[in-house]
C-alpha cells in the first residue's frame, strides 16, 4: 500500500496571536461511516460543522466591544464530521508516546484504538515504542500491532504500554518510517518537545507531498500547554500530591516544631503545587517557579518560617521542582536528552538551609523532606481523568479522519476544541501573580506574595 502524493496544503508562515485556523489535507469526499455504526445501535450521530467555534475570550465585555463578534478570535469545535478525508478501510494509524510518564497515557492509547477500530473500522493500528526513537530502524524497536483485545484493560495500570523516551530523532528518518508502514495518520501523545517534533514531522510530510494527518494529544502534569483548560493526568497528579501533603502535615504535627517539606513537579509552572495546596488547606508556604527568588530569599523565608513555628509549632512547605532555578544553576549546568537544563534540587537546597538556620538557634525542631515526584506521574488515571482521556482520544480520531492536521485536542472553556500545534507551543502557560488562583493560595496559606 502506498500513500497518495502531490497534494498542496497551505501552511501558515508564522504564529500570530489568536490565529486559530486549522490546516486541512484537502477536500473531504468520503461519507462518514459513523452514521452507519450509530444507526446499527439505534443512535443519531451528532455531527459538527467546521464553522462551529468557541470564543477565545468568552467575557461579555470582549464581545460587546466589537461591531462584528464573528471576527473575534475563536477555536474550532471538535467532534465528528459529515464527510471524511480518509477512507477508513484503507487507512493505517500510528500512535507514539514521548517524554515523561503521566497518568492516563494508557487510557488515551486504549481510546484511540477502540475509537478507530469500532467506530471507523480501521484494522491496522501501529504502536511505535520508546517515543520517536521507535521510528528509527537501527534501534530494533519494531512497532506493536494494537488491537482491542490487547488494549482492553491497559487503562487500569499506570505508565504507557508503548513506553517512552526523550531526545530529538531524525525527522527525515521518522517520515521514511511512516511511508514504509503506509501510515495515514499519526497520533503523538506528549508535551511541548513532542509537539515541536510533531510539527517538524508535518513539515517533512509536506515537503514530500504526502497526505498524513498529524494530531497531538497534549500531555503534561505541569498543566503548562497554552489554550488548554487542563491537561489529562493533571487532576490525578495533584490528587496524589495531596496524599503526600497530608502525610507531611501529620508528620509535622506529630512533633514539636515539626516541618514537612514536600517537592512536586513543575519545571516552569506552579499549577500543580497551587492546586494541591488549595485541595488540602494544610500548606503554609507554596514556592513556585513564577516567584522571584534572589539573594535575600533565604533569610526572609527563614524568618517567616521561624515566625510560623513560634506561633503554631508546625509548618508544611510545598515547593515546585523548577522554583529558584535561575538562582541555583550555573553556566556549566548539564542538560538532558531533550536539551532541557537539569534541575538543581530546590527541595534539598531548602532543607539544607533550614537545618543550617535553625541549628544556630535554640529552637527544637524536626524536618521531614518528602519527594513523591515520580509517584505522581506513574499511577493510573483517576476516574475523572479517564473520562477526559477517552474524550480526547475520540475527538482526536474524528479530527484525523476529517483530514485535519497539525492540531492538538483539548478543552477550552469546558468545550472540546482543536488548537493549532503552532499556537500550543508558541508560549507556556504559567501562574499569573494577579490571578484568582494565586490570590487564593496566598489567602489559604497566609504567606507573603514574595520573600524578597
Please say whether the beta carbons of 291 and 297 come within 8 A: no
Least Cα distance to 78 among 404, 424, 425 occurs for: 404
Cα dihedral sign, 71-74-76-77: negative
Alpha-carbon distance 390 to 111, whole Å?
Answer: 5
Bridge partners (DSSP) listed for residue 218: 190
**Taking phi first (over 0 means left), then psi (-120 to 50 degrees means alpha), and beta for anything else, what does residue 28 get?**
beta
Query: In the numeric block, which cell numbers belong to residue 347?
Result: 527541595
Residue keyed to cell 469545535: 77
* Whole-Å CA distances, 170 to 92, 220, 246, 337: 22, 23, 45, 14
State yes or no: is 222 an active-site residue: yes
Query: In the numeric block, which cell numbers belong to residue 422?
Result: 503552532
Bridge partners (DSSP) listed for residue 92: 124
Query: In the numeric block, which cell numbers belong to residue 53?
Result: 467555534
Three-class SS state of 263: strand
CA-based angle 15:21:26, to the nearest 5? 120
Least Cα distance to 397 among 190, 88, 103, 2 occurs for: 88
Q: Which residue is catalytic, options 141, 200, 222, 385?
A: 222
Half-sphere exposure at residue 348, Cβ-oriented, CA atoms within 13 angstroms: 4
DSSP 119-175: IT---EEEEE-SGGGGG-GGG--PPEE--HHHHTTGGGSSS-TT----S---HHHHH
Please say whether the beta carbons of 372 and 266 come within 8 A: no
Question: What letters, b where the CB count within 10 A reaches 16 and e where it falls short, cover 357-378?
Answer: bbeeeeeebebbbbbbbeebbb
Residues 6 or more apart whose Cβ sits within 8 Å of residue 175: 201, 204, 205, 208, 210
Residues taking part in catalysis: 222
Amino acid at each position: 500500500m502506498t500513500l497518495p502524493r502531490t497534494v498542496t496544503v497551505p501552511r501558515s508562515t508564522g504564529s500570530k496571536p489568536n490565529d486559530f485556523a486549522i490546516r486541512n489535507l484537502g477536500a473531504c469526499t468520503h461519507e462518514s461511516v459513523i452514521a452507519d455504526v450509530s444507526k446499527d445501535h439505534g443512535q443519531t450521530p451528532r455531527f459538527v460543522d467546521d464553522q462551529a467555534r468557541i470564543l477565545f475570550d468568552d467575557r461579555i465585555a470582549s464581545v460587546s466591544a466589537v461591531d462584528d463578534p464573528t471576527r473575534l478570535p475563536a477555536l474550532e469545535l471538535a467532534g465528528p464530521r459529515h464527510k471524511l478525508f480518509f477512507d477508513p478501510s484503507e487507512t493505517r494509524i500510528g500512535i507514539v508516546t514521548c517524554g515523561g510518564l503521566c497518568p492516563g497515557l494508557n487510557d488515551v492509547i486504549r481510546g484511540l484504538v477502540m475509537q478507530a477500530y469500532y467506530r471507523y473500522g480501521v484494522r491496522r493500528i501501529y504502536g511505535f515504542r520508546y517515543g520517536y526513537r521507535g521510528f528509527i530502524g537501527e534501534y530494533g524497536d519494531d512497532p506493536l500491532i494494537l488491537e482491542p483485545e490487547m488494549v482492553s484493560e491497559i487503562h487500569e495500570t499506570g505508565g504507557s504500554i508503548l513506553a517512552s523516551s526523550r531526545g530529538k530523532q531524525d525527522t527525515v528518518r521518522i517520515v521514511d518510517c511512516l511511508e514504509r508502514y503506509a501510515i495515514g495518520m499519526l497520533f503523538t501523545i506528549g508535551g511541548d518537545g513532542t509537539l515541536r517534533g510533531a510539527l517538524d514531522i508535518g513539515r517533512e510530510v509536506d515537503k514530500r507531498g504526502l497526505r498524513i494527518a498529524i494530531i497531538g494529544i497534549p500531555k503534561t502534569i505541569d498543566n503548562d500547554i497554552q489554550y488548554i483548560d487542563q491537561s489529562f493526568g493533571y487532576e490525578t497528579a495533584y490528587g496524589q500530591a495531596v496524599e503526600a501533603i497530608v502525610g507531611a502535615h501529620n508528620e509535622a504535627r506529630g512533633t514539636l516544631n515539626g516541618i514537612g517539606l514536600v517537592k512536586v513537579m513543575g519545571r516552569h509552572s506552579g499549577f500543580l503545587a497551587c492546586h494541591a495546596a488549595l485541595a488540602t488547606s494544610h500548606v503554609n508556604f507554596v514556592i513556585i517557579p513564577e516567584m522571584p527568588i534572589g539573594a535575600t530569599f533565604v533569610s526572609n523565608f527563614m524568618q517567616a518560617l521561624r515566625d510560623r513555628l513560634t506561633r503554631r509549632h508546625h509548618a508544611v512547605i510545598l515547593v515546585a521542582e523548577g522554583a529558584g532555578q535561575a538562582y541555583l544553576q550555573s553556566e556549566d549546568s548539564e542538560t538532558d536528552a531533550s536539551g532541557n537544563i537539569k534541575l538543581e534540587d530546590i527541595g534539598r537546597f531548602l532543607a539544607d538551609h533550614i537545618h543550617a538556620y535553625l541549628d544556630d538557634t535554640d529552637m527544637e525542631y524536626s524536618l521531614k523532606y518528602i519527594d513523591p515526584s515520580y509517584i505522581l506521574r506513574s499511577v493510573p488515571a483517576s476516574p475523572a481523568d479517564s473520562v477526559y482521556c477517552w474524550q480526547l482520544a475520540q475527538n482526536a480520531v474524528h479530527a484525523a479522519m476529517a483530514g485535519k492536521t497539525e492540531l492538538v485536542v483539548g478543552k477550552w472553556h469546558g468545550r472540546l476544541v482543536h488548537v493549532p500545534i503552532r499556537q500550543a507551543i508558541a508560549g507556556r502557560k504559567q501562574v499569573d501573580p494577579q490571578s484568582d488562583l494565586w490570590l487564593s493560595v496566598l489567602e489559604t496559606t497566609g504567606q507573603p506574595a514574595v520573600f524578597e
